[in-house]
Chains A and B, each alone.
Chain A
């Protein structure tokens, strides 16, 4: 019979018996270098995605023309097997990297967010799948910029 005391040894025994629910050791560390990059190339490098291959299996749904650059809705579906993450960049924003989303435990490689875009620009999506990087882009024309 297991004695439930608060010592590390007991926790080890519980873990070994499979009685502790497994959770990720640490949450993803905020990619400061990526989010503070002021140019697309720099941001891609911070993602490790400089050599990303163009892919037609990344489906980006976003308006061709967005009246309000403060709220641009973007939906991304990755059809690439073993998708681990989706990153969204607005190439001409002061800081291009808008978000990096990681998926696990049954989450589909699907993203919906709303972002600010300062001016007409390519929306660039980077997918990490099976340890490799893939990319696709779609231009969004902005009538009124939304960063300031």
Chain B
């Protein structure tokens, strides 16, 4: 199973700033390994964030997103204690879900 994501959800006023660090190789399919063979594509295609069960962010990603992606989402009307759930699915149909709680800024 993939490594957990690191999620920081900090409330600034009434906006939750959610920063996520994801462990994923995000292979473009253009890199060659030591033997000269092409490393096949392997990248997150779908990244979804929910806030208190409602979908706030649906990302369609390509192999152009950097390795070990860092991304952010901002949600207005959030409160301390709100639940944030982040889920990704990649082109090999691997999935990973992690969650966090909105903390005071």
Q: Are A108 and B31 in contact, CB atoms less than 8 angstroms apart?
A: no
A100 CA to B10 CA in the complex, in Å? 24
B69 to chain A, nearest CB (A): 7
Q: Is A15 an interface residue (CB 8 A)?
A: no
Q: Is B51's CB under 8 angstroms from A147's CB? A: no
Instruction: With A21-B53, A108-B15 as known contacts, state yes or no: A99 contacts B60, CB within 8 Å.
Output: yes
Residues of B within 8 A of A35 (CB): 60, 62
Smallest beta-carbon distance A146→chain B, Å: 8
B56 and A105 within 8 A (CB): yes
B55 at the interface (CB under 8 A from A): yes
Cβ distance B62 to chain A, nearest Cβ, rounded Å: 5
Residue contact B56 to A114, C-beta cutoff 8 Å: no
Is A106 close to B, CB under 8 A?
yes
Asked whether, in the complex, the Cβ of B65 is within 8 Å of the Cβ of A113, the reply is: yes
A104 at the interface (CB under 8 A from B): yes
B residues bordering A, Cβ < 8 Å? 15, 19, 28, 30-32, 45-46, 48-49, 51, 53-67, 69-78
